[in-house]
Amino acid sequence: MVKLYLTANGPSWTHSNNWLSHITHCGWNAVECNPNTNQVTSLHFENNNLVGVFPNNDLINLNSLAYMNFGSNELTGLISQELCDDNGLYIVADSGNCLNEFNTTKGEFLSGCCDNVHSWFGYDETS
């Protein structure tokens, strides 16, 4: 997670409260953890001025991660096949980070690697 902060323009994030402070990662802005295990369960980086390459390697080892939102940032590169294959992971990202083509009529990606990636534009937290 520290590498994510350092490589994705962390000092210029819109919201970076407590990152790299003495507070545990569970108290960092945009990070939610299981209170019993302190494992990361959700990342909420939407519209936070992240810049750089999509942080695949920083996310692969977050075994309890169930939700991540990286929409409306300036991340380049594709979401890795390994992240796409994690069927329990709900991903919200920009269409440029997904290998699949985006169907603007349906508001979803066409079948392929990123079947569980949802468009930031069409995201609805109630679903």
| Residues 119, 96: Cα–Cα separation, whole Å | 10
Q: Does residue 123 have a pLDDT over 50?
A: no
| Residues 10, 109: Cα–Cα separation, whole Å | 29
Higher local confidence (pLDDT), 109 or 77? 77
Q: What is the pTM of this model?
A: 0.80
Q: pLDDT (tens digit, 9 = 90+) per residue, 53-88?
A: 989 889 989 999 999 999 889 998 888 878 877 767
One-letter amino acid of 5: Y
Domains annotated on the chain, with CATH: 2-119 (3.80.10.10)
Q: pLDDT (tens digit, 9 = 90+) per residue, 24-59?
A: 999 999 999 999 999 999 999 999 999 999 898 899
